[in-house]
Structure 1
Amino acid sequence: MIAPVAMLRESGRSAVQGWRTFWFSTEPAYTLGIIRIAFGVLAFLWSLELGMDLYDKFSVNGIVPQPPTYEFLWGVFYRWPGDTALLAGWIVLMVASLVMIVGWHTKLATFLVFLMIMSFERRNPWIFNSGDGLIRILSLYLALSPCGAALSLDQRRHFGSFWSAQDIKVWPLRLMQVQISIIYITTVIAKLHGDTWQNGSAVSYTLRLDDMLLLPSPAWVSTSPLIGNVMTWGTLLVEFSIGVLVWNKRWRTRVLIAGVFLHLTILLTMVVGFFSLAIFVLYLSFVPWERSKALADEVHRRLSSATRRVLRRKVDAGAPEPAGSPPPVVDAAASTESIAGEGDNDSSPGGRHAAADATAAPDRVNGNAVLPVPQRD
């Protein structure tokens, strides 16, 4: 009786320790810093796209005069719905995204990015898709995380180096990693409830929606039952593999590469907004911190080298003559003898250069060039 109880307690301790290790172990924040930079770029691009027809999409005089009144919805534009508030919110989103990239007052910047993304999506939710929802979720994760603990101006202010990193708990990365599995597993389950995914015609059907395509596919691709079946069921296989096998270190790189290929294909052929780019940002959460540090060090080295070359060129191009330096003193007789002596040394190999060096080499006196004066007999 005692042995089973002891084994149960040991199993409980191991489970608790595994849970703590998974969520709360520490590592340098290089990977989280790279994710912050990548997401800041993504949020800035998203805000630029949002600015197109800003008032038509979100104004009280636009296509949706009033925001939806569902429960638990909130946002800045529920309180201030006017055009001035829309413009101010859009500018805040763009500026906060840029500030987020460089990591200056990162906590405030990430909170503002999340707040404005949430506010715009709640103001008119009918123009957004799942990619926009994923961007909102990512902004929340980063707003809650210490993402300014690496590769940021905050690091430079506190520790003297932009390229440094603090040790952090890994739970923000774990949230993103778990999010990947949730996305793909639930996607596969939802697709299997549809007839077109079961009979293998879903991708073929999609490739014939001309208004949704960036690059029209050849007819022999979109109308071939065999190709359609392979692409449809292959998509399901890749998505399921990412959702499950990404936790296996041996298979992780392979399934993520397959995911990159899948989403690049979607990005380049279909109008899906920012979904693929948001997925790529999520993929970064599986990059080991050692590789992230190596990447940051390499970028730092290249930038430092390029900066030194630029400064050296500026110094070389703009270096003035020393102020107040008198012109070199040249004796006419010495010059004549030097010219005459060149002919005597032409017969031997290198003699002309040796004579010129011997007769024309100046001495230095107080930093000024002075040619030697011939001695008189």
Structure 2
Amino acid sequence: MDAKEVVPTLTHSIRDRFQRFFFTEEVPYGLAIVRMLVPMVLLGTVCTRWPYSRELFSADGAPAPLAEIFRYYDFLPILPGTVVVGLFAALAFFLFCSCIGWMTRFSLIASVTLYTYFCFMDCISMATKYSVISTHVLFLLSLSRCGSIWSVDSWLKGKREKKTLPLYTKHELPRSEIWPQRLMQILIALVYFGAAITKLHTPGYLEGDQISYWAMSRYNNPHPLGEFLTMYPIMLSVMSYVAIVWEIAFVFVVWRKWGRILGLGLGAAFHIGTLFSLGLYIFPMVSISIYFCFLTESDVQWISAQFRRLVRRAGWLKQTAASLGAAIEKYRPQPVAGWKSPTAWVTGIVAVLVLSIYVEHQQDIYGLRRPEGRMTLHEVDPELMAEMLAPEQTMKQKDKFLSVDTGTQMVGGWLTNRKSEFMIGEMILVQCCLNPPHEDIWIDCHFCEEDGRIVHRSGQIVLRENLRSAFQVYTPESLEPGNYYVSIKSKGKEVLRRSVTLLPKLSAVAN
């Protein structure tokens, strides 16, 4: 009797796809790269904060626990200063071990535990967007086998296997289920999707106002392009729309080859752009580092094949690779027994704890052991104290205004061709930008001759939710060529002025 034919159903198809999506076994190339890059970035932030760890995170300083904002007092213990100094240095050691893949799983677990604790202890500077994402990434890495390749652990394991296995045994890279990698991919996709939803509800984002004000400031770090881009606000508005579309589409298109290339390429360009225009340093590095979790085994095989082909064609590259390999072998540490690696790791932890406490004690950055004695509090200058305790001053009217520009074309509510020279008879568009927040305000726009005589006058109410207003000034042919100016007034006082020049209208010349 013939066997019954198995007819695939929708349920079986979905279940099979789910199994393949989460539980296919691959060599964890992508996770290994993420394991090397993300702890390296966090290590830089930890090292810069370590000299101030006693002040930022301990009972000896002024910690700002995150839980107290939500009225969960004493949610986590605030440790003594000496303990915090040692643990913060140990965090740096664990991040370094995670980066090189030494006792990988234990190092990652210790890293995510300590890093999360210190983020909870300092909600002002430590608890940021990149730290929240990084802790989730470290947690997922601790559940994976990211240390099975390109790590000290894998190197030591390979040395042990060479001693026990036959001489001609073929070595294969370890494979593991990819569900931690998938969860990391879903994490970054949902972060982008949530960011897009938030931006859609943010006033002034799509119009480019928020990015424009942010680019004008140095709130994060110095940046070379921010102030330049504010001269072209329509570009900022277009970039805002592109960012929204990309963040929403990312979760849907990134699972296919070309969609992945497009999504990750736009993402890298977006984050690099924020580095140069907004002064964001750490967040772009963390985000681009996590992008490597989208790297598949087939991608690495293709890149490896292309590199081998390049090496075969370029003799100098082959010689360089050979000399580099010889140098690595020359300075590579001698193999140690398997039982010695955990011992050395624990010894390193103890050494870091003791050395960090000793160094911090010797530095005495708070002057506790100065020859002239401890630092004392000085009485505040009475004038400064009176200024600090004085009633809040009313915002000056001129401080509510940002700029006034003139041109002839507007797109998307922005003046696109700023200029100061116009032909007589040409319509002049005047755009006045305001600073948030402001009340409903009446603005007068006067077009005046150089001696102050008003040629044209107009006015309008700018509602509190608007940050721009536009006026039209017609220059009749009866005006003489020369210098004029646009005056923006509020409450009868001039707050902004822009000089313009009227040129004679060119007439056709008959032959």
- TM > 0.5: yes
Q: In the superposition, relative to structure 1, how do residues 34 and 67 fare at CA in structure 2: closer, same or farther (>3 Å)? A: closer
Please say if 1:277 is aligned against 2:285. Answer: yes
Please say if 1:248 is aligned against 2:256. Answer: yes
Structure 1 counterpart SS, 2:216: coil
- For residues 93 and 304 of structure 2, the distance between their equivalents in structure 1, rounded to whole angstroms, comes to 24
Of 308, 318, 324, 1:306 maps to 324
Partner of 1:119: 117
Partner of 2:96: 98
- For residues 53 and 141 of structure 1, the distance between their equivalents in structure 2, rounded to whole angstroms, comes to 29
> How far is 1:276 from its partner?
1.1
Partner of 1:89: 87
Contact 2:55 / 2:61 at 8 angstroms: preserved in 1? yes
> How far is 1:262 from its partner?
1.0
Q: In the superposition, relative to structure 1, how do residues 164 and 93 fare at CA in structure 2: closer, same or farther (>3 Å)? A: farther
Contact 1:74 / 1:119 at 8 angstroms: preserved in 2? no
Residue deviations 1:18-76, cap 9 Å, x none? 1111111101122222221112312321311332522222122323376735589999x
Q: Which amino acid aligns with 1:200?
A: G
Partner of 2:152: 153
Partner of 1:143: 142
- For residues 121 and 196 of structure 1, the distance between their equivalents in structure 2, rounded to whole angstroms, comes to 31
Partner of 2:234: 226
> How far is 1:266 from its partner?
0.9
Residue deviations 1:288-346, cap 9 Å, x none? 224446768979x866532426889xxxxxxxxxxxxxxxxxxxxxxxxxxxxxxxxxx
Partner of 2:57: 58
Contact 2:58 / 2:78 at 8 angstroms: preserved in 1? no
Which is richer in helix? 1
Contact 1:213 / 1:271 at 8 angstroms: preserved in 2? yes
- Aligned runs of 1:271-350 on 2, under 5 Å? 271-292=279-300, 305-308=323-326
Residue deviations 1:79-101, cap 9 Å, x none? 46111111111111111112112
Partner of 2:176: 168
Q: In the superposition, relative to structure 1, how do residues 279 and 310 fare at CA in structure 2: closer, same or farther (>3 Å)? A: closer
Q: In the superposition, relative to structure 1, how do residues 138 and 171 fare at CA in structure 2: closer, same or farther (>3 Å)? A: same
- For residues 218 and 263 of structure 1, the distance between their equivalents in structure 2, rounded to whole angstroms, comes to 14
Structure 2 counterpart SS, 1:21: helix
- For residues 234 and 28 of structure 2, the distance between their equivalents in structure 1, rounded to whole angstroms, comes to 47
Please say if 1:206 is aligned against 2:214. Answer: yes
> How far is 1:126 from its partner?
2.8
- For residues 172 and 218 of structure 1, the distance between their equivalents in structure 2, rounded to whole angstroms, comes to 37
- For residues 177 and 64 of structure 1, the distance between their equivalents in structure 2, rounded to whole angstroms, comes to 34
Structure 1 counterpart SS, 2:176: strand
Residues matched between the structures, number? 303
- For residues 249 and 73 of structure 1, the distance between their equivalents in structure 2, rounded to whole angstroms, comes to 49
Gaps of 5+ in 2: 1-5, 163-170, 309-317, 331-511
> How far is 1:217 from its partner?
4.1
Contact 1:192 / 1:198 at 8 angstroms: preserved in 2? yes
Contact 2:66 / 2:121 at 8 angstroms: preserved in 1? yes
- For residues 296 and 32 of structure 1, the distance between their equivalents in structure 2, rounded to whole angstroms, comes to 17
> How far is 1:164 from its partner?
6.6
Q: In the superposition, relative to structure 1, how do residues 60 and 267 fare at CA in structure 2: closer, same or farther (>3 Å)? A: same
Contact 2:218 / 2:279 at 8 angstroms: preserved in 1? no
> How far is 1:109 from its partner?
0.8
Q: In the superposition, relative to structure 1, how do residues 154 and 197 fare at CA in structure 2: closer, same or farther (>3 Å)? A: same
Higher RCO, Cα 8 Å, sep 6+: 1
> How far is 1:159 from its partner?
3.0
Contact 1:149 / 1:166 at 8 angstroms: preserved in 2? yes
- For residues 55 and 328 of structure 2, the distance between their equivalents in structure 1, rounded to whole angstroms, comes to 46
- For residues 269 and 19 of structure 2, the distance between their equivalents in structure 1, rounded to whole angstroms, comes to 34
Partner of 1:184: 192
Partner of 1:346: none
- Which deviates the most, 88-97 or 66-75? 66-75
Measured on the aligned residues, the alpha-carbon RMSD in Å equals 3.2
- For residues 257 and 302 of structure 2, the distance between their equivalents in structure 1, rounded to whole angstroms, comes to 20
> How far is 1:176 from its partner?
1.1
Please say if 1:108 is aligned against 2:106. Answer: yes
Q: In the superposition, relative to structure 1, how do residues 108 and 29 fare at CA in structure 2: closer, same or farther (>3 Å)? A: same
Structure 1 counterpart SS, 2:9: helix
Structure 2 counterpart SS, 1:84: helix
Q: Under a length normalisation based on structure 1, what TM-score does the superposition of the two structures give?
A: 0.71
Gaps of 5+ in 1: 1-5, 313-377
> How far is 1:184 from its partner?
0.9
- For residues 65 and 205 of structure 2, the distance between their equivalents in structure 1, rounded to whole angstroms, comes to 37
- For residues 219 and 156 of structure 1, the distance between their equivalents in structure 2, rounded to whole angstroms, comes to 49
- Which deviates the most, 85-94 or 36-45? 36-45
Which is richer in strand? 2
Please say if 1:195 is aligned against 2:213. Answer: no
Contact 1:30 / 1:292 at 8 angstroms: preserved in 2? yes
> How far is 1:236 from its partner?
1.8
Contact 1:74 / 1:122 at 8 angstroms: preserved in 2? no
